[in-house]
Amino acid sequence: MLYSFARSVLFSLDPEVAHDLTLTQLQRAYALGLTRLVCKSVPPLPVTVMGLEFPNPVGLAPGMDKNGDHIDALGSFGFGFIEAGTVTPRPQPGNPKPRIFRLIPAQGVINRMGFNNDGVDKLVDNVRRQGTFRRRGGIVGLNIGKNADTPIERALDDYRIGLQKVYEHADYVAVNISSPNTKDLRALQGAKELTGLLAGLRDERRRLEDRHGKRVPLAVKIAPDLDDAALPAIADTLVDHGVDAVIATNTTITRDRVAGLLHAEQTGGLSGRPLTERATAVVDLLARHLKGTLPIIGVGGIMNGADAVEKMQAGASLVQVYTGFIYSGPDVVADCVEAIRAMPAKPSRSPRSGTRRSA
């Protein structure tokens, strides 16, 4: 009820203004100890994925907290993990405004933000300043990308810099090669390009592992618009290069499910309910091909607990929400956790996936 009122106010504002206002007020509420009073309690539901112990399998997808300013505040809503970013080596403003559009009848959002962020050094400073979420057992993932003005043939340089900078401060690192809002970025999902990128990151991670004395898991985020026939080869490439998880999926450029709606013609990535079915189908296809050799983080159109269960039943080990958080409010976290808790236990797929649930 409380969030329904808040949403009506926020939805009367420009989406990006509403986003910034929400985070500002959230930070104030957190400082006063109020955030836990406005959402459901989330009892533990531990799960081990990528060798990490998550307090529950429901996370916040990147984009909400691009610069890692609000990890502790957002974590107070009961998330098992927060993924901050996408961050680039150098600060950049992103694409021109307006660049976020609500498709309310479809429970969707189109964004063409373009990796607007304050740069990786600022992100690292912000992560250092916070720690309450982690002390409570929360997992922090840091999502890296390339600067818009970096030529695609030099993309590995930017990803190396990002990995070097965040390595010591991340529980896992996510590699974003699937945003539709940075020119040519999705070309990195091609066979030759992906092999080159992952080989470079594998070698860089080995150097960082020796330097820091720890191995930080690496996940790669893919697009929902890939052809079904391309997905097995991509999955095999990830396994071959020692990647620890695949994140499926990013936003979509298709408009089949929102045709004719206000703002449907806007360019950018579409998220929310219109993405649910396709994102789940990608998770299912990957799971059937991988057979447990690589854990899957399911994201895309999770608007409630039933959607989270569908992703888990399709083969995900973890799930992430974003647009569902916008439309349903912070209670969506507890709803998803409780729905997953009520699922029949999944059989273990393999030691590598390491998925374990307990009540």
**DSSP secondary structure letters along 200-227:** HHHHHHHHHHHHHTS---EEEEE-TTS-
Q: What is the CA radius of gyration of the chain?
A: 19
**DSSP secondary structure letters along 138-149:** -EEEEEE---TT
What gap in Å lies between CA 219 and CA 355, rounded to an integer?
A: 16
Contact 226, 252 (CB under 8 A): no
Place of tokens 């959002």: 109
Would the CA dihedral through 183, 188, 189, 192 be positive or negative? Answer: positive
Cite the DSSP H helix spans in 77-129: 120-129
* CB-count burial class (<10 Å; 0-12, 13-18, 19+) for 66: buried
The CA-atom distances, in angstroms, between 153 and each of 10, 29, 194, 203 are 41, 44, 12, 18
Encoded tokens for 161: 């810099």
What gap in Å lies between CA 201 and CA 141, rounded to an integer?
A: 17
Q: Which of 4, 8, 178, 179 is catalytic?
A: 179
What is the β-pairing status of strands 100-103 and 47-49?
unpaired
- Degrees (nearest 5) of the Cα angle 325, 133, 245? 70
| Active-site residue flag, 179 | yes
Residues serving a catalytic function are: 179
